[in-house]
Amino acid sequence: MSPAVQHNLLTADDLDKQPDDGTRYELVKGVLQKMPPAGFEHGICAAEIGSKLNVHVKTHKLGYVCGAETGFKIDQNPDTVRAPDAAFVSQSSIERQGIVRGYWEGAPDLAVEVISPNDTYAEVAEKVDEWLTAGCAMVWVINPRRETVEVYRANEDLVLLHGNDTLEGGDVVKGFQCRVQDIFA
């Protein structure tokens, strides 16, 4: 038996034209997915890492940090538009594409995903894979429950950080450093 064919796939343009009903959506392989509001703990971690990144990036004029509402079109035919909890787009990427009004075409240089209590391991792994496949240089997965950060890069081993370990931006967010425990303070 052949797999069922999905009809009526949406595009990034369709997603952009969705009426504002107060719900956050992502588009995954042409299928609209509701994103429930984040919990309080999740929001604190996302704001903490986003603000730390933003201060560093602005101080050193490295590019821009985006919040959780920012869509990145990371695949097409069918379209996928994801919105990480925080993202960094380098100045060199901005110079190539400019400041766009719609979704950013492609992946950010850094995507940050904060795990929510209802996220499954498979869902998080799928997002990490999508970001890296789309060209994201680095992905940070922050786990508030375990107070850890997983650092992913294409073709490199996973790095697991916790406590007094230092989270570094490497060659992606040059000079950025933060103690892992400070994300959860």
- Strands 72-75 and 148-152 turn out to be unpaired
Domain ranges of the chain: 38-183
Residue by residue, pLDDT tens for the chain (185 residues) are 334 445 689 888 888 888 888 778 888 998 888 888 888 999 999 999 999 999 999 999 999 999 988 999 999 999 899 999 999 999 999 999 999 999 999 999 999 999 998 888 999 999 999 999 999 999 999 999 999 999 999 999 999 999 999 999 999 999 999 999 999 97
* Confidence (pTM): 0.91
Task: Return the closest-CA partner of residue 104 out of 10, 9, 12.
Answer: 12
Are the C-beta atoms of residues 43 and 80 closer than 8 Å to each other?
no
CATH code at 38-183: 3.90.1570.10
Cα-based distances in Å from 32 to 5, 8, 9, 55: 16, 11, 9, 33
So what's the pLDDT on residue 7?
Answer: 61
